[in-house]
Amino acid sequence: MKKISSRSTLFNKVFFPIIWFGFCVVLIAIGIWGSPEHSIDWVFVGGPFMFMVVGYVLMKAFIFDLMDEVFDAGDSLIVRNKGRDIRVVLKDIKNVSYQTMSNPQRVTLNLRKKTDFGQEISFTPVTSLWAFKKNKDILVLIDRIDELRGE
C-alpha cells in the first residue's frame, strides 16, 4: 500500500485553525484592553472578528472535510479519517477532481455509493516544492480509474 495523501493534513486541519483563530483572539483582546483609556478600538475588534468569520467559512469549505490519510491498495483505496477506515473500490469512483491551483491542493472523489464518510471524499495529495507541479501518483490513479470505467 502506498500513501497518496499528504503528511501536512494534520497541520492544515488542526494547527492552522488554532493559529488563525488564536491570532484573531489576541487582536480582539488588544482592541478591547490594549488602550490606556480602556476605550474599545473597533478596528482591532471588528477586523479580526470578520477574519474569524471569513476564515471559518473558507476552512469549512476547503480544509475541515479533508480525510486524514488515503492509501492506494491496487484495486481500491483505503481511506482513514478520525480513526475509522473504509475501503473504496476503484470501480465505485464516478469522478475524480484534481485541483492543483488551490492551497492546499485537493483531490475529490465522487462515489457511486454513499459511504460512512459521505458520497464525496476529499484529500490533499503529496505535493512537491514546486507549487504548480502535478502529483504523478494521482495522475496514474485517474488513468487507472478511467480504464476501469471503460471496461
Q: What is the mean pLDDT of residues 47-56?
A: 95
Cα-Cα-Cα-Cα dihedral sign, residues 117, 68, 23, 57: negative
pTM value is 0.84
C-alpha cell at 92: 465505485
pLDDT single digits (tens) 8-39: 999 999 999 999 999 999 988 888 877 667 67
Structural domain boundaries in the chain: 2-62, 69-150
C-alpha cell at 96: 475524480
Collect contacts of 64-68 with beta carbons under 8 A, ≥24 apart: 64/13, 65/120, 65/122, 66/9, 66/12, 66/13, 66/104, 66/106, 66/122, 66/123, 66/124, 67/5, 67/9, 67/117, 67/121, 67/122, 67/123, 68/5, 68/9, 68/10, 68/13
Q: What is the mean pLDDT of residues 124-141?
A: 86
d(C-alpha 132, C-alpha 127), whole Å? 9
pLDDT single digits (tens) 62-95: 999 999 999 999 899 999 999 999 999 999 999 9
Superfamily of domain 69-150: FACT complex subunit Spt16p/Cdc68p (2.30.29.210)
Measured in whole angstroms, how far is the alpha carbon of residue 123 from the centre of its chain?
6
> Which of 19, 46, 20, 18 has the alpha carbon at shortest distance from 31?
46
Tell me the one-letter amino acid at 72: D
